Amino acid sequence: MGKNKLKKFADMREYECVLQYPREELLREGFPFSGKWNSEVFNRPNPIVLELGCGRGEYTVGLAKADKNGNHIGVDIKGARMWAGASEVERDKIDNAKFLRCEIENIDHFFAPGEVDRIWITFPDPQMKKARKRLTSTRFLNLYRKILKSGGIINLKTDSPFLYEYTRRLVELNHLPLIVKTDDLYASGQVDRISSIKTYYEQQWLSRGKKIKLISFQLPAEGELLEPREDDIERDDYRAIPRPNISPEFNTVES
Q: Which residues are catalytic?
A: 125
Q: How many CB atoms lie within 10 A of CB 72?
A: 31
Query: How distant is the alpha carbon of residue 109 from its chain centre?
Result: 17
Using alpha carbons, select from 222, 226, 223, 52 the residue that is nearest to residue 138: 226
- Contact status, residue 72 vs residue 51, Cβ threshold 8 Å: yes
Using alpha carbons, select from 208, 217, 234, 207 the residue that is nearest to residue 182: 217
Q: Which amino acid is at 60?
A: T
